Structure formats: structure tokens, C-alpha cells
Structure 1
């Protein structure tokens, strides 16, 4: 298996997605990729157990990508070995009437992971600078002061949101949240194949929505706005990683590898030491239990 270096996928300078690969060339077969992913799942499970006991950090994994990019299956396969108490997955669709009574970040804030846990956002607070840019009429549902029509949404509005998101993530990091953001980089051709599969195979029909085709018509707009969002919000403390996603198995492995490598850098995440009294009396406690 080709060695995975997180820095090969980290966005540390301005990029254009059209220049980045959607498929990683590798000689690994499906069995090898699955074997390596299994090893990483076990490592992540053990690490999360230690994180839970350490109780100082939380982890927020943000997943973005076009329809059919593989977000759901990636979550299932990467986090399946982690204790259910230690990972929480939230999927964000169009905001409901209650959520629209608050600012656009509120519904994400209330779903942030507790210390010791991994939180996964399937679609994220970035929907507010992606989908809402393609469909600016959605912003009108927020009933913001001074914005009555789409024409009131000026370019500076989106720059302000980038700053707000950066400040939001900075605050989280300063308070112990490790943020890792992944864009699953799917080619338009591969999306076409996956949509056709949903239509042609009866067991996958339920996954198809005509809305998928409507959003596909806006592909170039989405790519432009992803470029701008990623470039404006990728930084050392809350980095974006662009993951080639045409090969689902490889995408899962890369994401798992990056999460493991990034979390392993936190050397202070250790099991807490027993207090002196317990440590001194371990032998006595063992004998007491053995006598029962």
C-alpha cells in the first residue's frame, strides 16, 4: 500500500479543485485496502477509548462533498469499530422552522461533540457558504436585518461569513476541539456513473432523488464556491483535506489514515494515572475480589 502523508492532501495554499486529482493511483487491490482500513479502525477505537478517559479534547470531523461522493458509507466504514458512546454522527439537511429562529451556526453548535468524543458532521456549517451561494434565495429564510431580496446579498456578505466561520472554529480549537475538515473530491463523470447505478439497480432506487439532477446542473458553480470556501477557511488549526473520492475504498482509507496521523500528534492524550491511594492498594483490592 502506498504510504499516505496527510500533507499531500492538506490545503495550505490557494488551490483550484479542477487541478487536483479525483483518483489516487495505487497498485493496492480491494482486499489490501480493506485490510489496511481494518487496522486503522482498531487503532482509532483504541485511541478514542484513551481520549474518553483523558477527557480533555473532543474531535470534530467535517465531511463535505457533492451528492454521491460517499459520505454516508465512509462514516459507516471508518468509525464502525469505535464504541458507540464515543462517536456521534449528525447530518444537516435544509434547516427547519425552529433552526431558522436562530443564527445559521446555532444548529451546529448544539450538536458539537463532548470532550472525549468524536463528532462527525455529514454536511456541515459550510452548507451556508456553498448551497446558499448557489441558491441565495435560501438566505431570505433567515430573515436577516437589511436583506429583503436576493439583490441585497452583496459579495461582502459571503466574505463576512467566512470570517465568522473562521472565528467560530478558532474558538472551538482554543477550547479543546480538534477540527479536521474533509472534502470528498468526486469527478463529474463518476457522479454520473453513481447516479445511473441508483436508477438502474432496483435495490439502490431509494437513494435517487430528482433533486440530485437539478443540483448537478450547478456543478461548475459548486466547484467555484468550494474553491473559495476551502481557500478562505483552511488553516493550521482547522485544516481542509481534499480527498480523491472516485475510488470509495481508497477515500475511506485516506480519511482514516489522516485522522489517525493527526490525532497521534497529541502526545498529551494519555490514560489518567490512578490516584496514590488506589495505586498503593491495587493488590489489596485484587485479593478482596478473589476471596469472594
Structure 2
């Protein structure tokens, strides 16, 4: 299988989204990719177990992508070996009434993973500079003091919101959260194929929503917003990675490899040492248990 480097996928300079890959050739058969994927998942689970015991870092994995990009199945396959106590997944959809009574980042703050845990945002705080940008009328529900109508939603508003998000990520990174942001980059043709598959397979019909077709008509606008998002919010402490998503097994492997190759470099994530007074009495404790 082709050896890949994190830097191949990291957004580290200004990009044009039309030049980013939606397909990637790992030069291997699907079974081999899945076999490697399973090994990576086990290695990641070991790191997470150590991180849970260590209790100093948390991991926040953010996933964005167009409808049918494969977000749910990616989460399932990458984290299938994890202990459930060490992982939390949140899917951010339409804000609830109580969420709308707070600022737009509130619901993301309260969902952040505790130290020692992996947190997954399936759709993220970037919906607030993506969906709301494509549909600025949604902002009216936020009841902000300075936004009375869509005419008040200026370029300056979006610049401020990007700055707020960047500050949010800088703050949590400074306090021990390791941030990964994955853009599952799906081609329009492949999205069409996946939507048709949902319609053609009775057991997949439940996944289809009429709204998906309405949003598909806004494809170009979404791509424009994604390009701006990648260019304005990929930072050293919270980088974006472009993940070619036309082939699901390949996308899952790339994500797992990026996670593993990054986390294994944290040499300070170690299992805690047993207190010396307790360690000296291990034989005594074992004897007490064995002689019950």
C-alpha cells in the first residue's frame, strides 16, 4: 500500500477548492485497505486508553462535508475498537429553542470532551459560517442585537464570526485539547450516485430526504463557502485536512492515519505511575485477594 504523509492533506496555505482532490489512489485493493484500517483503529484505541488514564489531553475531531460524504460510517469504522467510556459523539443540526437563547458557540462549548476523552463533532461549529451563510435568513432566529434583517449580515459580520471561531479553538487548544478538522471532499457526481443508491435500495430509503435535493442545487454556493472556511480557519493549533471522499474505505484510512501519526508524537501521554507506597505492597494486596 502507498505510504502517505499528513502534509499531503493538510491545508497549510491558501487553496482553490476546485484544485483539491476528491479521489486518492492508495495503490491497494479494498480488502488490504480495510485490513490496515482495522490495525490503525486498534492502535488508536490503545492511545485513547492511555490518554484516558493520563487525563491531561482531550481530542476534538471535527467532521464537515456535503450530504452523503460518509461522515457517519467514517466515525463507525475509525472508532469501532474504542472503549465507549472514552469517546463522545455529537451531531449538530438545527438549533433547539434553548440553544437559540444562547450565543451560537454555547452548544459547542458544553459538548467539548473532558480531559482523557475523544470528542467527535459530526457537523460542527462551522455550520455557523456555512449553512447560515448559504441561508442568511436562518440568522434571524438567533435574535442578535445588531442583526435586524438580512441587510445587516455584511462581510464584516462573517469576518468577526471567523475570528470568534478561531479564538474559540485557540482557547481550547491552549487548555489541552488536540484539534483535528476533516473536510470530507466529495465530488458532485459521486453525491448524485449516493443519492440514487438511497432511492434504489429499499433498505436505504430512510436515509433520503427531499431537502438533500434542494441543498444540492446550491452546490456551487456551498463550495464557495467551504473554500473560504478552509482558507480562514486552518491554523497550526487547529488545522483543516482535505480528505478525498469519493471512496469511503480510502477516506476512512486517511483519517485514521492522520490521527495516529499525529497522536503518537505526543511522548508525554503516558500511563500514570502507581504511588510508590502502594507499589511496594503489591505482593501484600495480591496475597490478601488470593487468601479470601
- Superposition TM-score, scaled by structure 1 size: 0.99
Q: In the TM superposition, what is the alpha-carbon distance from 1:290 to its structure 2 partner? A: 2.4
Q: Distance in 1 between matches of 2:221 and 2:272?
A: 49
Q: Distance in 2 between matches of 1:3 and 1:282?
A: 45
Q: In the TM superposition, what is the alpha-carbon distance from 1:247 to its structure 2 partner? A: 0.4
Q: Give the match for residue 144 of structure 1.
A: 144
Determine if the alignment matches structure 1 residue 96 to structure 2 residue 96.
yes
Query: What's the CA shift string for 1:17-71, capped at 9, x where partnerless?
Result: 1101101023211110110010011111111110000000010000000000000
Determine if the alignment matches structure 1 residue 219 to structure 2 residue 227.
no
Which runs of structure 2 are paired with 1:205-244 in the superposition (5 Å)? Answer: 205-244=205-244
Q: In the TM superposition, what is the alpha-carbon distance from 1:287 to its structure 2 partner? A: 2.4
Q: Distance in 1 between matches of 2:251 and 2:146?
A: 43
Query: What's the CA shift string for 1:180-203, capped at 9, x where partnerless?
Result: 000000000000000000111111
Q: Give the match for residue 115 of structure 1.
A: 115
Q: In the TM superposition, what is the alpha-carbon distance from 1:283 to its structure 2 partner? A: 2.0
Which runs of structure 2 are paired with 1:148-159 in the superposition (5 Å)? Answer: 148-159=148-159
Which runs of structure 2 are paired with 1:168-207 in the superposition (5 Å)? Answer: 168-207=168-207
Query: What's the CA shift string for 1:180-230, capped at 9, x where partnerless?
Result: 000000000000000000111111100000100100011111111111111
Q: Give the match for residue 4 of structure 1.
A: 4
Q: Distance in 2 between matches of 1:206 and 1:96?
A: 23
Q: In the TM superposition, what is the alpha-carbon distance from 1:279 to its structure 2 partner? A: 1.4
Query: What's the CA shift string for 1:61-100, capped at 9, x where partnerless?
Result: 0000000000000011111110000000000001111110
Helix, strand or coil: the match of 1:98? helix
Deviates more, 1:186-195 or 1:274-283: 274-283
Q: In the TM superposition, what is the alpha-carbon distance from 1:145 to its structure 2 partner? A: 1.0
Determine if the alignment matches structure 1 residue 255 to structure 2 residue 232.
no
Q: Give the match for residue 165 of structure 1.
A: 165
Determine if the alignment matches structure 1 residue 53 to structure 2 residue 58.
no
Query: What's the CA shift string for 1:135-168, capped at 9, x where partnerless?
Result: 0001111111121111111111000011000000
Q: Distance in 2 between matches of 1:37 and 1:17?
A: 27
Structure 2 residue ranges without an equivalent (≥5): none
Q: In the TM superposition, what is the alpha-carbon distance from 1:16 to its structure 2 partner? A: 1.3
Q: In the TM superposition, what is the alpha-carbon distance from 1:280 to its structure 2 partner? A: 1.2
- Superposition TM-score, scaled by structure 2 size: 0.99
Q: Distance in 2 between matches of 1:108 and 1:146?
A: 22
